[in-house]
Amino acid sequence: MSKIYLDKLGYENYLKSLEDIKKEIDENAKLMSLYVSDDAYGDGWHDNFAYEETMHKEAELFQKYNKKKSMLKDIVIIDKESNGTVSLNMKVELLFIDDEIKEEYTIIGDINSNIDDNSITLNSPLGSAIYGKRVGDKVSYKVGDNTYNVEILGIEACS
């Protein structure tokens, strides 16, 4: 798997999300035992829709938790000090040279980039091409069979 770039706050939020999933698992387990005891006069779980739903939710939560936990090894914590280079939590103004179009992007470390709100991750082709570069630098990156050429026009820290 590719690396996940986070700043210290992003890493702390990632760990918190793991803890939140653990809490959900605990709450779900309490519900499960409640649903079993509610049906104590029956066979404990057959034809108990609420119990079956909590079992499905438990499986989903464990899968989500294990996936996030396994991704911990791929996290790289980036220092916020950029020294004038493109780094995490920076707004970058780019000129797409071939099209003469200017765009501004926010560089994020989260694995959920959203091109619609102009945020890109360091894992993206564009993000990895401009990471560590300075104003005035020109870089190329590929997406599929297409090559794009960009020039970095400006860099500023996000507030």
Task: State pLDDT tens for residues 40-61.
Answer: 555 555 567 777 888 899 999 9
Q: Return d(Cα 76, Cα 124) in angstroms, integer.
A: 15
Domains of the chain, CATH where assigned: 4-77 (1.10.287), 90-157 (3.10.50.30)
Which residue type does 108 have?
A: I
Q: Return d(Cα 26, Cα 108) in angstroms, integer.
A: 31
Q: Is 143 helix (H, G, I), strand (E, B) or coil?
A: strand
Question: Would the pTM count as exceeding 0.75?
Answer: no
Which residues sit opposite 139 in a β-bridge?
A: 150
Tell me the pLDDT tens digit for each residue of 99-144.
Answer: 999 999 998 876 665 666 788 888 889 999 999 999 999 999 999 9
Q: Is 38 helix (H, G, I), strand (E, B) or coil?
A: helix
32 to each of 55, 57, 65, 147, how far by Cα in Å? 7, 10, 18, 53
Which residues sit opposite 101 in a β-bridge?
A: 96
Characterize the bridge pairing of strands 75-77 and 90-96.
unpaired
